[in-house]
């Protein structure tokens, strides 16, 4: 059982709510699964390089061949630039394919996900990487995805800015489209995390504390389940 932990917050300090939530999940998961394997990527400390033209050229060649599995991609590489792109991409694909649980720390930046996480998503989504070449079924159908999120304001159901949440719907649509079963995707958000610094949020301190406490409890509950 492998837990793949990915943080994407640009804030590497204790001020990061998502880093605190993913750390809580990780501690709880390790205690509940002492024999489990754990891997972590910090996308702020070690960013995934953005895609280049060589990545897209190689991807289109793979598509024309019928979405071959990763093991057969090297035979289709035509240039040194394509080789570099594949060498950057394959380790990310391999990690995700091996994961039983993918844990994501995702702050809301400008109504959506951080660019650091989007770069990881763009690179890992290589044609055919998560399809069984024989059955066509998704190799991620049993993978569990837990997205622990933070928002400076309030964007949950029933709030005035609910329609501005492009974070949760994007992540859910992306992973389900990638082949994760809908009931294996879990999104948890701590809201109003900037209540202590933004004047227009004054008076919402209790609501912010309740949201954060609920997110912590959800993180612990998900960490002990499979």
Query: Known binder of ligand: residue 110?
Result: yes
- Per the CB < 8 A criterion, the answer to whether 139 and 130 are in contact is yes
Q: How far apart are CA 75 and CA 71, in angstroms?
A: 9
SS3 of 157, please? Answer: coil
- Per the CB < 8 A criterion, the answer to whether 213 and 172 are in contact is no
- Per the CB < 8 A criterion, the answer to whether 19 and 105 are in contact is yes
Burial 183-213 (b: 16+ CB within 10 A, else e): ebbbbbbbbbbebeeeeebeebeeebeebbe
- Per the CB < 8 A criterion, the answer to whether 6 and 102 are in contact is yes
Q: How far apart are CA 68 and CA 63, in angstroms?
A: 8
Pairing between β-strand 101-107 and β-strand 37-42 as defined by DSSP bridges: unpaired
Query: Known binder of ligand: residue 222?
Result: no
Q: Which residue do the tokens 């998560």 mark?
A: 130
Query: Known binder of ligand: residue 108?
Result: yes
Q: Which residues are annotated as a binding site for FMN?
A: 9, 108-111
Q: Which residues are annotated as a binding site?
A: 9, 108-111
């Amino acid at each position: 059982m492998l837990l793949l932990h990915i943080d994407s917050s640009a804030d590497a300090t204790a001020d990061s709510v998502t880093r605190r939530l993913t750390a809580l999940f990780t501690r709880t998961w390790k205690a509940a699964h002492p024999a489990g394997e754990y891997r972590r990527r910090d996308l702020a400390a070690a960013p995934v390089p953005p895609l280049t033209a060589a990545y897209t050229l190689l991807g289109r060649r793979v598509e024309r061949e019928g979405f071959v599995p990763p093991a057969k991609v090297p035979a289709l590489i035509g240039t040194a630039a394509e080789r570099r792109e594949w060498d950057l991409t394959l380790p990310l694909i391999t990690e995700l394919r091996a994961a039983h649980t993918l844990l994501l720390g995702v702050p809301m930046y400008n109504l959506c996900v951080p660019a650091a996480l989007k770069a990881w998503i763009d690179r890992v989504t290589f044609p055919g990487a998560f399809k069984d070449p024989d059955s066509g079924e998704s190799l991620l159908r049993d993978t569990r995805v837990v997205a622990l999120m933070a928002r400076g304001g309030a964007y949950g159901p029933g709030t005035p800015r609910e329609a501005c949440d492009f974070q949760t719907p994007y992540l859910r649509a992306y992973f389900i489209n990638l082949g994760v079963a809908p009931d294996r995707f879990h999104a948890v958000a701590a809201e109003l995390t900037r209540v202590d610094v933004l004047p227009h949020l004054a008076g919402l301190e209790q609501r912010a504390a309740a949201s954060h406490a609920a997110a912590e409890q959800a993180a612990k509950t998900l960490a002990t389940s499979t």
